[in-house]
Amino acid sequence: MESCITIREQTRLYVGPVKELVESVVPKCRVVVITDANIDRLYPDLVRRYEHIIIGGGEANKSLVTVATIYDRLMKMGADRSTFILGIGGGIVTDISGFVAATYMRGLDFGFISTTLLGQVDASIGGKNGVNVADYKNMVGTIVHPRFVISDVEMLRTLSERELRAGMAEVVKSAIIGDAELFDYIERWAADTLYHSSEQMRNIVLRAVRVKAAIVEADERERGLRRLLNLGHTIGHAIEKSTRAVNHGEAVAMGLVAIAKAAAKEGMLPERDAERIASVVRALGLSIEPPVPVTAIMRAVRYDKKRQDNILRVVIPEAIGRCVVREMSLECFENMFK
Ligand SMILES: NC(=O)c1ccc[n+]([C@@H]2O[C@H](COP(=O)([O-])OP(=O)(O)OC[C@H]3O[C@@H](n4cnc5c(N)ncnc54)[C@H](O)[C@@H]3O)[C@@H](O)[C@H]2O)c1
């Protein structure tokens, strides 16, 4: 059984069995798959039924060098405007393949099969794609929506526990932004196994997808509401910048706990809610303490700010299920963590 949510009349987000959905959703024209070696090894039937390009994994490969290599391969294959790009993988593959599809020959149609929890609830949704440049994450990119995203929770069974936990951090983020019932649901499961049943995971993915889809529907270009999706990311990105020891989801988890604690200290969030956020993150097996000192985190926040004006837009949780964006100076932000 599948569920389908449509965003901006452009993307159909399917949560259901990949085998059946591929048959009915992927167009019958020429399709070129972009994926990484892990997905090719684990799901060869899916990848090798089409022409395919395998890229290296990891943030270091989310680069213009990889993009240029893919353009080159597409040209040698004779791919043209009628070719359909199918990105199969986690957020790194979908970010790169979306960018390639949006720019090659001024844009090809594309779709995703999203294979990580973080990808299914966040990275594959909303049309943002792009690559890192030098030290800056997602510095170059476009906002172009895929035709469809297929998310099959059965594919998450081959995901490492670490990646599953990292994805749960983004689910917790979505719950704090806009779904208090989802937060209760995760609280109930968190102390149990991470992936209890297909039904449980389907419920989690669907609810988190709905939160993001509703926000993107209302604000595609991040002029207002979409900024809420950055909850926990000011601190999270700074942690990612300061150490390679944690991945994106792990850094976001620490960022969520830090901003909740700071908001409670300032009287903006009930103390009890901040405690619940820290407990759920801990129960999911995620660390709540950054592995770098606050001074290093603030240095990274400041370094990032050098590129923009001096005003930070910080997402503050006011309750579980409700957040606001507050504009504040860097100094004000730093004071929240003292
Ligand atoms: N575009 C957006 O709106 C957006 C939003 C959030 C995050 N992102 C980006 O997403 C990226 C992180 O994505 P991610 O966490 O999915 O990481 P990832 O794409 O690196 O995937 C994590 C690892 O899991 C492997 N993998 C993927 N699916 C698997 C499966 N089903 N079974 C076994 N292994 C599997 C991959 O090969 C990889 O080694 C970051 O670059 C981040 O900036 C983008």
Domains of the chain in start order, with CATH, are: 3-158 (3.40.50.1970), 161-336 (1.20.1090.10)
Q: What is the pLDDT of residues 115-157, one digit of tens each?
A: 999 999 999 999 999 999 987 888 999 999 999 999 999 999 9
Give pLDDT, residue 171: 97
The atom number, within ligand 1, closest to the CA of 98 reads 1
pLDDT of residue 306 exceeding 60, the answer is no
DSSP helix/strand/coil, 121? helix
Q: What is the pLDDT of residue 193?
A: 77
Please list the alpha-helical segments (H only) found in 149-270. Answer: 161-178, 180-190, 198-218, 233-242, 248-265
**Cα(157) to centroid of ligand 1, in Å?**
15
- For ligand 1, pick from 13, 67, 95 the residue to mutate: most ligand atoms within 8 Å of CB: 95
Mean local confidence (pLDDT), 50-76: 97
Rounded to two decimals, what is the model's pTM?
Answer: 0.95
**Tokens 């806009």 belong to which residue?**
178
Mutational test site, ligand 1, from 163, 164, 170, max ligand atoms within 8 Å of CB: 163
The confidence score (pLDDT) of residue 164 equals 95
Residue 286: how many CB atoms within 10 A of its CB? 23
Phi and psi at residue 13, to the nearest 5°? -100, 115
Question: What are the residue numbers of the active site?
Answer: 106, 128, 170, 212, 222, 226, 230, 233, 237, 248
Tell whether ligand 1 has an atom less than 6 A from the beta carbon of residue 128.
yes
Res 9: pLDDT? 87
- pLDDT higher than 90, residue 79: yes
Protein residue with its CA nearest to atom 44 in ligand 1: 123
3-class secondary-structure state, position 173? helix
Q: Mapping DSSP to helix (H, G, I), strand (E, B) and coil, where does residue 118 land? A: helix
Chain centroid offset of residue 176 CA: 15
pLDDT at 224 over 70: yes
The predicted structure's pLDDT at residue 101: 98
In the numeric block, the tokens 């943002």 are attached to: 128
